Structure 1
Amino acid sequence: MSAFLGLGATIRYEATLALRQRVLWLSLLPLTALIMVLGGFPHGRNRSGEMAAIGDTALLINFLGSLGIAIALADRLAGQRRPGLRELFGATPAGGGIRSLGVLLGPWLVASIPSALVLSAMGAWLTITTGEPELSVAAAVGLLTIVAPGSLLLTVLANVASLLLPSTVVRVLLLPFWYWATVLTPLIPLPTVARTVLSPLGDYQAAQWLDVTLARQDGGWLHPAPGFLHGVAALGITLATTALAFLVGHLLLAENR
């Protein structure tokens, strides 16, 4: 119970600090506006159906919005190495792992608000204009299975990388890495996890639950036809990778305490 209380307190404290950071909003709000323009808000850019429009918007938010959040929050774990903070943290009831988790989750939850509002508002608008309440549910599904997992994964990876490299370098490298992992096309002859069940973009979740057509499905184990098991597998791989990356970051921090 004390661990949950410590985690909750850390999340609230870090979220409050993030809410007051003007730089965070100055970087994320213009990006959110760009997503709305590119995504054809509130109708969406996919004309095959409202459900698919929500799915396409969720994928767009995951690609652009997750990148912006990770760049903005890339130095949260590395910030715990600042002089004097180790003694300050030692006086708190939360353990090292709980504290690191709260340091990441608090700002990430705050930074995710604009993207969540865009997709939720789109679902609500389409529900009102079409009279189909399942579209609001679809927006929630997009947030929980596509946007949130991808965003959290990239944020955790950025923070772990910042424990090994300067945060400025990590921020520069995030764009080519995320492009490689999510939307790299066959025109560029490089091995990539993009358009496979290993990709954190959420293609298979969007295909299974939001009527989005996959760009590639040749029947191979990396490119299977969309289905419930493949959608769950893709989501599970993203979540498992996030947990593994966080564990690595926690161990790196523990070595320096």
Structure 2
Amino acid sequence: MNSLKMAWGALHYEFLMQVRRPTLWLTFLGFALLLLNRSLIGGMIALHAPTLQLAALLALLTNWLAPLGVGIFLADRLPRDRRLKVEELLNTLSGTIRMRMLSKYLGATLATLLPAFLLYLLILGFAVWQTGNFLLIPPGIVCYAVIVLPGMFFVSAFSIACPAVIWGPLYQFLFFGYWFWGNLLSPTSGLPTLNGTALTPIGTVIDISFFGISSMRGVAGPSSPLNGVASIVALLGLAILALVALFKFLKWQQARQ
């Protein structure tokens, strides 16, 4: 019971530390100004897709930029602890490294996902206002969970783990380039890209596999639902592996001190 209280306290601390950052909210406000565009959302509405497919398209639209913000803002969690000497303080507590790491991951991730989810609700609400179709809301929530969250947890895990071994600003720079190369670059562009594979956290493969989208950013569809399942399993599995690797590294690092 004491361990659970400590884990909850650490999670609560990480959540508040992250959610109170003004730059986090200002960044997602900027994303909202870019994505709440009549031509973007109106173009999707003009396709006259069924309600479920329109909800899936809106979830994918949110994912163009939201995971980019999530990854960049989470990349400084461990470096900031070191810079502010919080890591040394935490090492004096009785909680295990695993508990602190999971609390940090869940607390910081949930806090960063809050403005990302509110951004999606704004986009969904704008589409409901444009179409007058309130039936968009229930499938919209389902689509967010299925299309957006697996990639978000994938991005969050690597954005917390990688800066433990490489310079944080370098990771942020590389992640920025990776996001556009591996998720938004069309596979038909002539350049190799991860877009269209199971390792596409933007959710394109999940979108065309589960919701019957004909094509999206050069990725042909629809495809078998098994491809969508494979993408979700691959993204969440790699997220877990990244966290396990981080735990092993932090344990090794503490043993050397």
| TM-score of the aligned structures, taking structure 1 as reference length | 0.82
Whole-angstrom CA distance in 2 between matches of 1:39 and 1:246: 40
Superposed displacement of residue 83, structure 1: 7.2
Contact 1:74 / 1:170 at 8 angstroms: preserved in 2? yes
1:103-146 Cα distance to aligned partner (Å, 9 max, x none): 122122122122212333554663982253xx222211222122
SS of the residue aligned with 1:256?
helix
Please tell me the residue identity of whatever aligns with 2:214. Answer: T
Whole-angstrom CA distance in 1 between matches of 2:69 and 2:175: 10
Superposed displacement of residue 22, structure 1: 1.7
Contact 1:28 / 1:111 at 8 angstroms: preserved in 2? no
5 Å matches for 1:82-97? 82=83, 84-97=85-98
Whole-angstrom CA distance in 2 between matches of 1:163 and 1:105: 17
The alignment status of 1:157 with 2:158, answered yes or no, reads yes
Task: Quote the residue 1:14 is aligned against.
Answer: 14
Task: Quote the residue 1:221 is aligned against.
Answer: none
Task: Quote the residue 2:196 is aligned against.
Answer: 195
Q: 1:251 to 1:52 in 2, by over 3 A?
A: same
Task: Quote the residue 2:132 is aligned against.
Answer: 129
Whole-angstrom CA distance in 2 between matches of 1:79 and 1:122: 32
5 Å matches for 1:33-44? 33-37=33-37, 40=40
Report how many aligned residue pairs link the two structures: 249
Whole-angstrom CA distance in 2 between matches of 1:123 and 1:75: 30
Task: Quote the residue 1:256 is aligned against.
Answer: 253
5 Å matches for 1:1-257? 3-37=3-37, 40=40, 45-48=44-47, 49=49, 50-82=51-83, 84-123=85-124, 126=128, 129-132=132-135, 135-215=136-216, 226-257=223-254
SS of the residue aligned with 2:197?
coil
Larger relative helix fraction: 2
Please tell me the residue identity of whatever aligns with 1:247. Answer: V
Superposed displacement of residue 46, structure 1: 4.7
1:180-235 Cα distance to aligned partner (Å, 9 max, x none): 321222354443221123322212321244442234677xxxxx852332221211
Whole-angstrom CA distance in 1 between matches of 2:145 and 2:110: 13
Please tell me the residue identity of whatever aligns with 2:251. Answer: A
Superposed displacement of residue 28, structure 1: 2.6
Superposed displacement of residue 175, structure 1: 1.5
Contact 2:7 / 2:100 at 8 angstroms: preserved in 1? yes
Q: 1:84 to 1:196 in 2, by over 3 A?
A: closer
Whole-angstrom CA distance in 1 between matches of 2:120 and 2:104: 26
Contact 1:15 / 1:106 at 8 angstroms: preserved in 2? yes
Whole-angstrom CA distance in 2 between matches of 1:12 and 1:44: 41
Please tell me the residue identity of whatever aligns with 1:45. Answer: M
Task: Pick which of 78-87 and 96-105 moved more.
Answer: 78-87
Whole-angstrom CA distance in 1 between matches of 2:38 and 2:174: 24
SS of the residue aligned with 1:201?
coil
Whole-angstrom CA distance in 2 between matches of 1:92 and 1:44: 54
Contact 1:80 / 1:86 at 8 angstroms: preserved in 2? yes
Contact 1:160 / 1:249 at 8 angstroms: preserved in 2? yes
Structure 1 unaligned blocks of 5 or more = 219-223
Whole-angstrom CA distance in 2 between matches of 1:217 and 1:66: 20
Please tell me the residue identity of whatever aligns with 1:238. Answer: L
Please tell me the residue identity of whatever aligns with 1:138. Answer: P
Whole-angstrom CA distance in 1 between matches of 2:212 and 2:117: 20
SS of the residue aligned with 1:77?
helix
Q: 1:211 to 1:252 in 2, by over 3 A?
A: same
Whole-angstrom CA distance in 2 between matches of 1:32 and 1:3: 39
Structure 2 unaligned blocks of 5 or more = none
| TM-score of the aligned structures, taking structure 2 as reference length | 0.82
Q: 1:77 to 1:67 in 2, by over 3 A?
A: same
Task: Pick which of 89-98 and 194-203 moved more.
Answer: 89-98
